[in-house]
Structure 1
Amino acid sequence: TIRQEIGDKSGEGATLNNISQIFKVRGDYETALDYLKKSLTIQQEIGDKYGEGTTLNNISQIFKVRGDYETALDYLKKSLAIQQEIGDKYGEGTTLNNISQIYDARGDYETALDYLKKSLTIQQEIGDKSGEGATLNNISQIFKVRGDYETALDYLKESLAIQQEIGDKSGEGTTLNNISQIFKVRGDYETALDYLKKSLTIRQEIGDTAGLCATLFNIGHIHWQNNETEQALQDWITVYRIAKQIGLAQVLHALEQLAENLGLPGGLESWETLMQQLETHNPQDKS
């Protein structure tokens, strides 16, 4: 590339980092990690602390999506130390947010909320609208878990307003999905499905594979509640096919629990069996 030819090491490190994020969104975590490691090597070599902090953060997200929270947290702590050392407020806000999500995944909501509040303060201080939208969204999920749906919805609406204002499609897809879950828990399945369809459209549009899995998983639940059993199973089989292909730990875990709740024998294996049965009846479904 041009940057390699002219010896622009800093630019090369940043470019490798950016390329990695394209593979991450597509769900190709192995390739994404390769690019991130190359980026990190260059940044450490030339002493690019700012780039190193960002790359360590991005590496953590690959381990998080694979369900390796311990390693993810290690990378996030290294990233945070660098960002605080060099005064990278933007990076610090993002990393605090990402740390919160590790505690959230582990069920330690109190610690998660502490990190989210620190993150939000920084993001509002420096005018990081994209980060603020994501953090408000994550805060809403803590209130949802606590059963305070009213407060959760308030935070989600704030988040959505920011994301639509700045054109953050990825964030908007997530927030629409999360709003749907508040209506679902209230028993308003029709409104829930409306939000899920909007979320699905955006996630298909931008190629957000992991997000698409989450939304389709939730759509399956609405079909199930409406006694549309066949449609629900088809949704979940599609989710299984994608999640298995790209190794989405959290989604596969959710499918395993779902199989148990539905009384399907063999956990994840039951989805494999159903997928094969569906493909036998409808060969075109393999695509």
Structure 2
Amino acid sequence: YTRAIEYYTLSLKYNEEIGNKSGIGTSLHNIGHVYEDQSNFKKALEYYQRSLKIREKVDEPARIAESEVNLGSVYLELKEYDRSMRSLQRSLKLFTEMGVRGGEAAALGSMGMVYTEKKEYDKAIDYYSRSMQIQRELGDKIGMAISLVSIGRVYLAQEQYEKAIFFIKQGLAISREVGDASGIKQASESLSTAYKKTGKFREALEMHELYLVMWDSINSEESKKELVHQEFKYEYEKKVTADSVRATEEKKVVAAQFKQEQTQRYALYAGLALMIVFGGFIFNRYKVTQRQKNIIEEQKLIVEVKQKEILDSIHYARRIQRSLLPSESYIDKSIKRLFKKHS
């Protein structure tokens, strides 16, 4: 059991790592089941309740119903009959709504057990019978055998030994037919008690011997299961290790890619910065050149204006000179007059 809990705990951790809430609920439920098999009902209750809370958050009606059935069984062992019945009634309601007939049969059978413990035998037989009817419809022979033996045990508790033997023998026959060692063990144990009560000691001894054989067989089967569990654990741990190595390698690759991308980003930023600086330099030179060009243009314009003003002044002076000086024809005429006077 310790190793089974270790195995399911590893499964729980793995599901928590990958965020699989449904798997977390199942792992918690399985751990609770191991504690229930150990009769550690307080621990079983703790894990079943944790599993139920997860399953309610994930909204898994079938698994919620499963959790309630198991909680009902644990509450029954703790003799908290009212809580047990509430859990079982909720599971029955959910199974009925979903049309899960096997679940209905399980819930009804567990409710029969509650009434048996409360010594409400008529109700117990009624619920076992309803459970067996569904099992018969489903062809669930192991379930039918359990229900028959359960009804027989109710009659055994009431000291109605012949009725008890009648039902338990039917259950034993079915368990033998399907090879259910656990069912044979339970039926042979109850029959041995019933035969003793009726003075049939030879039959009681035969059933007791059969019980011991089944007990040994089941323990041997449990040893095989433990070996299988160890193999599963080894494979699981190997898978987890491989996944861990792969995850580490993937992280390294991602880190390298991130570093490369970061370097590329830095190079890009540096390139952009250089481009901005160079662009600023070019723009500044352009502005200086434009300013110098504008100055030259302004100076050129000033020179042209000055030249025009000078030329205009010259032209104006010429016009004045021309207006003040006598014309050439006037001078010619004056010279001719002078020559005439002296001649």
TM-score, normalised via structure 2 length: 0.56
May I ask how many residue pairs the two structures share in their alignment?
219
Q: Which residue matches 1:184?
A: 156
Q: 1:123 aligns with which of 91, 95, 103?
A: 95
Q: Which moved more, 1:72-81 or 1:192-201?
A: 192-201
Shift of 1:55: 3.4
Query: Which amino acid in the other structure matches residue 171 of structure 1?
Result: G
What CA distance in whole angstroms lies between the structure 2 residues aligned with 1:203 and 1:63? 27
Query: Which 5+ residue runs of structure 2 have no aligned equivalent?
Result: 221-343
* Alignment map for 1:129-148 (pairs within 5 Å): 129-148=101-120
Shift of 1:38: 5.3
Structure with a larger share of its residues in helix: 2
Q: Which residue matches 1:213?
A: 185
What CA distance in whole angstroms lies between the structure 1 residues aligned with 2:2 and 2:145? 24
Q: Which moved more, 1:46-55 or 1:82-91?
A: 46-55
Q: Deviations over 1:136-190 (max 9, x none)?
A: 1111122222332222211111111111112233322221111112333344423
**Do the aligned partners of residues 42 and 218 (structure 1) sit closer, same or farther apart at CA in structure 2, a change above 3 Å counting?**
same
Query: Which 5+ residue runs of structure 1 have no aligned equivalent?
Result: 1-28, 248-287
How well do the aligned residues superpose, as a CA RMSD in angstroms?
2.7
Q: Which residue matches 1:203?
A: 175
Shift of 1:41: 4.5
Which protein has the larger Cα radius of gyration, Structure 1 or Structure 2? 2
Q: Which residue matches 1:161?
A: 133
Query: Which amino acid in the other structure matches residue 184 of structure 1?
Result: L
Q: Which moved more, 1:203-212 or 1:129-138?
A: 203-212
**Do the aligned partners of residues 155 and 204 (structure 1) sit closer, same or farther apart at CA in structure 2, a change above 3 Å counting?**
same
Q: Which residue matches 1:246?
A: 219
Q: Deviations over 1:78-132 (max 9, x none)?
A: 2101110100110011111101111111222122112111221211122121111
Matched, 1:99 2:57: no
Report which structure shows greater RCO (CA 8 Å, sep ≥6). 1
Q: Which residue matches 2:32?
A: 60
What CA distance in whole angstroms lies between the structure 1 residues aligned with 2:206 and 2:36? 27
Identity of matched residues, %: 27
**Do the aligned partners of residues 133 and 44 (structure 1) sit closer, same or farther apart at CA in structure 2, a change above 3 Å counting?**
same
Q: Deviations over 1:29-77 (max 9, x none)?
A: 6776566455445433433322332332233222212211122112211
**Do the aligned partners of residues 55 and 177 (structure 1) sit closer, same or farther apart at CA in structure 2, a change above 3 Å counting?**
farther
TM-score, normalised via structure 1 length: 0.66
